[in-house]
Structure 1
């Protein structure tokens, strides 16, 4: 799979062709703001695979905590923030 970088303003002007490159060509397009990667456009299969992996990891973490709660080695359930906190 190939990847390219493109400024957000350029992608905005070429949204149709860019989405075609991603969906039909399998490219990953990193959108940049001020020269820094800000977001990525990826094929649907890649995004769905990432979601499946996250679900699997979440499920394994929950089961591990349940086992520790059941056997008394865990008294609390830790909170883990998976998303970036943004100040308004």
Structure 2
């Protein structure tokens, strides 16, 4: 669990909070009106978070890039005419 501190107190104790994060391995959540505002985490924690974000982004891109051709149902083709037809771009 992270150590929570109000933003007004965090301003006065910033150097101490940085030491707690870097040397104590703590995570500090700065709050305003009792609600989380920001978090102080170590650079190593930030690198892990960035790596997770990148892996998730790659997974999303990979899943979106695997598409298949779909054909319109005859009813939609009749209703919307040529706009409902799927046409591949001319790659000549």
- TM-score relative to the length of structure 1: 0.72
What is the aligned length?
A: 71
**Which residue number in structure 2 is paired with residue 65 of structure 1?**
64
**Which residue number in structure 2 is paired with residue 82 of structure 1?**
none
**Which residue number in structure 1 is paired with residue 81 of structure 2?**
none
**Which residue number in structure 2 is paired with residue 11 of structure 1?**
10
**5+ residue gaps, structure 1:** 76-88
3-state SS of 2:66 partner: helix
Deviating beyond 2 angstroms after TM superposition, the runs of 4 or more aligned structure 1 residues are none
Shift of 1:57: 0.6
CA-based RMSD: 1.7
Larger helix proportion of the pair: 2
3-state SS of 2:30 partner: strand
More relative contact order in 1 or in 2 (CA 8 Å, sep 6+)?
Answer: 1
Q: Does 1:23 align with 2:22?
A: yes
1:53-83 CA deviation, whole Å, 9 max, x = no partner? 0100100111111121xx336x9xxxxxxxx
